[in-house]
């Protein structure tokens, strides 16, 4: 079952944050991730307007998405956000309707 990596972010230092975003697509692809939306237009309908960048990535499974996040390659890239370059909220959710 596919799973979705849904991230909301706020960029505080564009130069430092770009070091992260330049590395991430190759890492996602290595784990079967397919970018469905990354940094495009958006409209907040409910909730705080804290974030200005949104990303949705489809993975073959929740386990592969978690493995990607926990990989040394991703963690190395994410380190460029550390120190205030950006703030991120990330959730990985199974696809489909689990209430049925």
48-90: per-residue pLDDT in tens?
Answer: 899 999 999 999 999 999 999 999 999 999 999 887 899 999 9
Q: CA–CA separation, 23 vs 93, rounded Å?
A: 23
Q: Which helix (H) or strand (E) holds 20?
A: helix 14-30
Residue 12 pLDDT = 94
Q: What pTM was estimated for this model as a whole?
A: 0.90
Residue 82 pLDDT = 82
25-36: per-residue pLDDT in tens?
Answer: 999 999 999 999
Q: Tokens at residue 36, please?
A: 């469905």
Closest CA to 74 of 38, 32, 31: 31
Q: Which helix (H) or strand (E) holds 26?
A: helix 14-30
CATH of 3-94, one of 3.30.70.100, 3.40.50.300, 3.40.50.10190, 3.40.50.2300: 3.30.70.100
Q: Where are the beta strands (DSSP E) in 12-82?
A: 34-38, 53-59
- Spell out the domain ranges in the chain: 3-94
Using alpha carbons only, what angle is made at residue 50 by residues 6 and 27, rounded to the nearest 5 degrees?
Answer: 30
């Amino acid at each position: 079952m596919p799973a979705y990596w849904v991230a909301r972010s706020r960029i505080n230092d564009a130069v430092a944050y770009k070091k992260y975003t330049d590395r991430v697509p190759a890492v996602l692809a290595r784990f079967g991730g397919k970018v469905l939306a990354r940094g495009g237009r958006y409209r907040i309908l409910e909730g705080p307007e804290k974030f200005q960048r949104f990303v949705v990535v489809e993975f073959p499974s929740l386990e592969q998405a978690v493995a990607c996040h926990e990989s040394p390659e991703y963690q190395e890239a994410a380190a460029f956000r550390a120190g205030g370059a950006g703030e991120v909220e990330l959730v990985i959710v199974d696809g489909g309707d689990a209430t049925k």
